[in-house]
Structure 1
Amino acid sequence: MAKLERSLSLWKVTLMSVGIILGAGIYVLIGRAAGLAGDAVWLSFVIAAVVASFTGLSYAELSSRFPDAGAEYVYVRRSFGRHPAWLVGWLIIAGSVIGGATVAIGFANYFAGLFGTAVLPVAWGALLICGVIVVAGIQETAFFTIIITLIETAGLVIIMAIGLPHLGNPADYVQMAQGIEGVLKAGVLIFFSYLGFESITRLAEETEQPRKNIPRAILLSIAITTVVYILVGIAAVSVVPPAQLAESGSPLAEIAETWLGQKSFLLLSLIALLSTFNTVLVMLLSASRLVYGIADENALPAIFCTVSARTRTPWVATSAVTAGALLFLSLGDVEVVANLTNFTIFAVFIAVNSALIYFRLNRPTREGFRVPGSLGRVPVIPVLGILASVFMIANLSPEVLLLGGGLIVVGLLVQLAMDRQKNKIF
């Protein structure tokens, strides 16, 4: 049977990770964050980066131990067994599929705003095109992702350049619109702009020297995006007052239009459009590799392990993930669906951090990357990662928590049905 192609270098996988993290979040969320934090919005980015780093470091160590496409599923299966691992895998797949549909709708809304098209057909088209690119090959997918990442970054550099002549007194950038509470609330909101670093672990089987390069890519991408976010945050509030940014649906595009004219507004809107497309692309890529990895662990039907002999990609897994995303396009409330995706991510973060604590206590090793800082044998960083994830879940709405609980119940029922089917066969 054909295997996945191991062809991603450190710089490629790092740029792909940067592209995942940058996404479209910064183009939309910075206005609302500035409204909460005021001129100190840069501090909210620092807080969010620290919180993201807790779980990012745990992923770095676990990916060094287990460089598998199954990523989180493998980490949890090796620590807590098959049933908890299946639930983690289910939540990631469901979150990626639902999230892919959600972002595709966001892409279609951007597209409709620019070109006056209908939303649903464009969302369908975006998902299908992304699915075709992912099936075409990992090099082709990496090429598209890296090009869009460079374009995204160029858009943010434009904002930094606009802000440079307007920099004020350093004391101005500690002015908090709603006090420290507002800065913390903005940090919670901004945290969603950092989500995606974990997805790169699912490309371990397509990365050169994954035990070294995946941990490096995780840490480098968080560091790079943090610097970019801080500089953009400072530039944004230097050009446009935070209260005005908070009222804008396209805050960065408005900054560009204020100083460079209408054409720059169109340019930044197009970059945001590409950024959203890139997010859909990487979500399908990541989810398809996880389905492949779980099937490779014999927890899903073997057909999902099928790899194209020509493109060396898991085309059956990719087709299934794309089809699932297409089905979820009609869910309705984008905000609720997006927060449901966040629920699945934070639940998985709790499991991943717990897995690292288990390995440190029961199967310690000196090989590979190690998260620094321990109290006795217990690593401190994963504990902080668990607490941060619980805090994030606690701040979700009751409706989202109810839907998340329902998703867990469905996952358990699917697992029960598959176990019964296996018992019939064997």
Structure 2
Amino acid sequence: MKKEISSHQSLHGLKPNCLSFAEVLAQSFAVIAPTTIPASNIGLIVALAGNGTWLSCLIGLIGLLFVSININQFASRSASPGSLYTYITKGLGPTAGVVCGWSLVLAYLFTGMSVLCGFANFSGILIGHLGIHPSSITLLAIGAGISWYAAYKDIQLSAVAMLWIEGLTISLIAILCIIIWAHQGFALDMSQLTLANTNPGSIATGLVLVMFAFSGFESATSLGDEAKKPLKTIPRAVMGSVVLAGLFYVGTTYIEVLGFQNTGISITDTEQPLGFLSQRLGLGWLGELVAFGALFSFFSCVLGSINPAARIFFLMARHGLFHSKLGAAHSANKTPHVAVTLCSMIAFLVPTVMSLFNIKLFESMGYLGAIASYGFLTVYVLISVAAPVYLYKIKQLRSPDVLFSVLGVGFMIMPILGSVGIPGSTLFPIPEAPYNSFPYIFLLYIAATCGWFIIKKSRSPHLVVGMHQAIEEIHAKFSDNRKLP
């Protein structure tokens, strides 16, 4: 045991061995923000998948299990603040690693911006009931400011806050759903179980939104320095977050679709479905608690997005890819405070500028979230390709590993096609404006960042060597830990 503790000292000045498994799991859950689906967004999925919504959620769960297996090929052998950036660099080389790093930075920051807009919009509605109407920019500043303080001050404070917020809200939703199902006599809904009026195309289209709902499950990998026993806790958190969120989605969507039957109201037209169902049961107070829980879940997701984005900036800076100040750790707090501050400012400024151009918060939430999805999908494909290449390099590749890689990539193709669209296809139509332009914006972003890396590499010939050496040092640090029970 002494050997493991002594070998797991942070190479980067962060606070080592401070986060339990539950706190690491809370990081992934915070970015997934599973409470937002049953509390507000389920109607969007039901509009596409109908009675097959629960099956879309189940297929999403299975698909991302394959991706998590590919991630854990690395996470069970190495850990660092760099998340999947270091893993893909290890498997596919520095250029692919930089593409991953920039994709993750975009994915986490735009997710943070999106849910910050959700926080401001939702809190504005709730406060408006009291006759108070603060500006959108004020609410954006409050959400970003509190998130910055928690991330700047202490990673353990951040993790504990996310753990309690998500845990309490999920518990409230679970209790309410059980009550709703009990009111239905725990009936089996044959229209859902037999997929009535549903076809494979609608289930596949619903899967697009379901996959986006899982985005961020891998963010626990950014806590490599801070997690206790990271080679065990991080892989468990990655896979555990997929399983728990997936089962939560399957159960809550099934019950809510059942609950809306014979109400005369369509779930696809209801912004707060659980609030509506709780009112019908005479439990409006419980619906209000769920609404407040969903509000805090938005905040938790902002915090959960800033933490990994900052750590990727932090490690890439220490590898010479950004200004060295971004790679500084606070001497007392042991947090990447400069990177946290930068990420918090970006997460606040972009939605603020959009607000100044009179783009509504709800619209901004959709635009920013759609762009974020391209970053996640890119990384999930890259990690699934990198896993067998890495295992081949270390002479541990097995036939099932190749199968998991193929399945991981295969399951990502459907949401990619659904988000980009195929000309003339009725199954995957081209998205409407401005969503149809987002794939090209993302490709321009990747092209620009790759071009920047090529220029930087040509000016600093030792840059790639330094990246390899730093990542090898991280990897070697854990080589003995893998042998410990």
- Report the TM-score, using the length of structure 2 for normalisation: 0.80
Structure 2 residue 65 is matched with structure 1 residue 46: no
Find the partner of 1:192 among 178, 199, 212: 212
The CA deviation at 1:227 is 2.1
The alignment covers a number of residue pairs equal to 417
Structure 1 residue aligned with 2:20: 9
Structure 2 residue aligned with 1:157: 174
Structure 2 residue aligned with 1:240: 260
Structure 2 residue 345 is matched with structure 1 residue 323: yes
Distance in 1 between residues matched to 2:196 and 2:290, nearest whole Å: 28
Q: Is the 8 A contact 2:208 2:414 kept in 1?
A: no
Q: Is the 8 A contact 2:56 2:207 kept in 1?
A: yes
Structure 2 residue 409 is matched with structure 1 residue 386: yes
Task: Tell which deviates more after alignment, 162-171 or 273-282.
Answer: 162-171
Structure 2 residue 448 is matched with structure 1 residue 410: yes
Q: Is the 8 A contact 1:20 1:282 kept in 2?
A: yes
Q: Is the 8 A contact 2:66 2:407 kept in 1?
A: yes
Distance in 2 between residues matched to 1:225 and 1:107, nearest whole Å: 21
Structure 1 residue aligned with 2:196: 176
Distance in 2 between residues matched to 1:374 and 1:159, nearest whole Å: 45
1:364 counterpart SS class: coil
The aligned amino acid for 1:340 is: I
Q: Is the 8 A contact 1:55 1:349 kept in 2?
A: yes
Deviations 1:60-87 (A, max 9, x none): 2211122111121111212222222112
The verdict on how the C-alpha distance between 1:422 and 1:103 changes in structure 2, with shifts beyond 3 A counting, is same
2:342 counterpart SS class: helix
The verdict on how the C-alpha distance between 1:325 and 1:25 changes in structure 2, with shifts beyond 3 A counting, is same
Q: Is the 8 A contact 1:2 1:307 kept in 2?
A: yes
The CA deviation at 1:204 is 1.4
The CA deviation at 1:23 is 5.1
The aligned amino acid for 2:394 is: R
The CA deviation at 1:124 is 2.0
Structure 2 residue aligned with 1:271: 293
Structure 1 residue aligned with 2:273: 251
Which ranges of structure 2 fall in alignment gaps of 5 or more residues?
1-11, 129-133, 420-430, 464-485
Which ranges of structure 1 fall in alignment gaps of 5 or more residues?
367-372
Task: Tell which deviates more after alignment, 327-336 or 116-125.
Answer: 327-336
Task: Output the aligned Cα RMSD.
Answer: 2.3
The aligned amino acid for 2:375 is: T
Structure 2 residue 165 is matched with structure 1 residue 148: yes
Deviations 1:146-175 (A, max 9, x none): 110112212321332222221323534323
Q: Is the 8 A contact 1:8 1:207 kept in 2?
A: yes
The CA deviation at 1:339 is 0.9
Distance in 2 between residues matched to 1:236 and 1:345, nearest whole Å: 28
Deviations 1:5-35 (A, max 9, x none): 3211222212333343225234232122233
Distance in 1 between residues matched to 2:293 and 2:219, nearest whole Å: 22
The aligned amino acid for 1:169 is: L
The verdict on how the C-alpha distance between 1:127 and 1:390 changes in structure 2, with shifts beyond 3 A counting, is same
Structure 1 residue aligned with 2:466: none
- Report the TM-score, using the length of structure 1 for normalisation: 0.91
Structure 1 residue aligned with 2:478: none
2:389 counterpart SS class: helix
Distance in 2 between residues matched to 1:390 and 1:34, nearest whole Å: 21
Q: Is the 8 A contact 1:29 1:189 kept in 2?
A: no
Alignment of structure 1 residues 341-380 onto 2, 5 Å: 341-365=372-396, 374=399, 379-380=402-403
Q: Is the 8 A contact 1:159 1:236 kept in 2?
A: no
The CA deviation at 1:41 is 2.5
Deviations 1:183-212 (A, max 9, x none): 222222222221121111111111111111
Task: Tell which deviates more after alignment, 108-117 or 152-161.
Answer: 152-161
Bigger Cα Rg: 2
The CA deviation at 1:420 is 5.8
Q: Is the 8 A contact 2:20 2:227 kept in 1?
A: yes
Structure 1 residue aligned with 2:153: 136
